[in-house]
């Protein structure tokens, strides 16, 4: 039987905000699998902020489409270790199917009571990013106060939940709408939150955390990073994860924070990190978090669109902040 796959490819570099016209859908016959390979039908696909940077710098192509974390099911196998029916995590996303080697795929057996989609969100790279940033980079201690920027996004939501499990003190977050602010304080257990559209971030953070904070987990950069430097107490730490504020400004990059030298004056530590440099943390992370997902202490924060055809819209919507928690595309029923 001849099979075909539909994939998304980038056709031009965006100027400013990406548009649907920057992408194209293509359908091609599927070859293989050959010996040692499997054919996977993708179930859930992740769209993430870092992909915006790849649109400018290249290197996004992978397999039939574009790179992205994906969960799929093996539907044809010539690899004994990955029989038909195995659910795998891989990075050949932005396509309906993928031909993978055993090295490309990591088998996933969801723990009892854990939804499959969690392995792209709170138990996937998103949650692992939050865990590494808090425990290895910022070294958050019980009772310490924390500011999280873009707190209602995928990594921000995971960071807030994990910080509470680590017995953080006061947790403050920024978000992009009044509804998201309510979500942070009502559902995610934040002590205070503010809409960064309501005024200068520096002023809003000072009001939400009048006594300062010990740690900042920054997903935004720009004015959020400058506000964090102001709010941090002496010997505070910044785990810098992302810079969504500048993803659409490659041609006119923002200036460095005006108060950057305060890092010296206050003996702060700022460290950027990539979760891919911490694969050894996964087992520890899952041992820590899976029981909390199983007993309902931690729930999965997701925004899910249905149908592979929605992937470009989901990506653009995520960049505009239309999601709460992890943005996923359900390409086919579980």
* CATH number (domain holding residue 130): 3.40.50.720
- In a domain? residue 150: yes
- 37-46/326-330 β-pairing: antiparallel
For residue 209, being part of any structural domain is answered with yes
Domain count, the chain: 2
Same domain, 254 and 319: no
Asked if residue 173 and residue 247 are part of one domain, the reply reads yes
Please indicate, yes or no, whether residues 255 and 132 belong to a single structural domain of this protein. yes
On whether both 200 and 247 belong to a single domain, the answer is yes
pLDDT at 187: 92
Same domain, 8 and 147: no
**Could you tell me the residue range of the domain that residue 206 belongs to?**
125-276
User: Are residues 210 and 322 both part of a single domain?
Assistant: no
One domain, residues 260 and 318: no
For residue 295, tell me if it sits in a domain: no
- What per-residue confidence (pLDDT) applies to 30? 87
First to last CA, the chain: 23
pTM of the prediction?
Answer: 0.92
Residues 6+ apart with CB under 8 A from 215: 134, 138, 140, 144, 145, 146, 147, 168, 232, 236, 237, 238, 239
Calpha distance 23→65 (Å, rounded): 11
Asked if residues 330 and 43 have their Cβ atoms less than 8 Å apart, the reply is yes
pLDDT in tens, the chain (334 residues): 568 999 999 999 998 899 999 999 999 998 879 999 999 999 999 999 999 989 988 778 888 899 999 999 999 999 999 999 999 999 999 999 999 999 999 999 999 999 999 999 999 999 999 999 999 999 999 999 999 999 999 999 999 999 999 999 999 999 999 999 999 999 999 999 999 999 999 999 999 999 999 999 999 999 999 999 999 999 999 999 988 877 766 666 667 789 999 999 999 999 999 999 999 999 999 999 999 999 999 988 999 999 999 999 999 999 999 999 999 999 998 8
């Amino acid at each position: 039987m001849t099979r075909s796959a539909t994939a998304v490819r980038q056709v031009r570099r965006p100027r400013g905000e990406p548009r649907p016209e920057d992408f194209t859908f293509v359908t091609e016959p599927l070859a293989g699998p050959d010996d040692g390979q499997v054919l996977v039908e993708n179930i859930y696909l992740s769209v993430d902020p870092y992909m915006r940077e790849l649109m400018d710098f290249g290197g996004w192509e992978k397999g039939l489409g574009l790179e992205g974390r994906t969960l799929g099911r093996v539907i044809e196998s010539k690899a004994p270790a990955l029989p038909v029916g195995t659910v795998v995590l891989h990075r050949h996303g932005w396509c309906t199917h993928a031909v993978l080697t055993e090295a490309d795929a990591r088998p996933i057996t969801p723990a009892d009571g854990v939804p499959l989609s969690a392995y792209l969100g709170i138990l996937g790279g998103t949650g692992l990013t939050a865990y590494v940033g808090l425990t290895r980079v910022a070294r958050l201690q019980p009772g310490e106060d924390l500011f999280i920027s873009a707190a209602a996004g995928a990594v921000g939501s995971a960071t807030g939940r994990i910080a509470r499990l680590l017995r953080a003190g006061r947790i403050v977050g920024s978000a992009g709408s009044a509804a998201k602010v309510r979500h942070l304080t009502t559902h995610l257990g934040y002590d205070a939150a503010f809409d960064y559209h309501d005024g200068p971030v520096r002023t809003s953070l000072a009001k939400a955390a009048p006594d300062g904070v010990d740690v900042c987990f920054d997903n935004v950069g720009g004015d959020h990073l400058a506000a964090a430097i102001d709010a941090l107490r002496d010997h505070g730490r910044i785990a810098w994860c992302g810079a969504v504020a500048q993803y659409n400004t490659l041609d006119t990059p923002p200036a460095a924070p005006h108060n950057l030298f305060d890092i010296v004056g206050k003996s702060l530590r700022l460290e950027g990190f990539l979760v891919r440099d911490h694969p050894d943390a996964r087992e520890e992370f899952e041992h820590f978090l899976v029981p909390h997902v199983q007993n309902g202490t931690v729930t999965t924060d997701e925004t899910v669109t249905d149908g592979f055809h929605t992937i470009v819209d989901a990506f653009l919507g995520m960049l505009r902040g239309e999601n709460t928690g992890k943005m996923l595309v359900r390409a086919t029923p579980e």
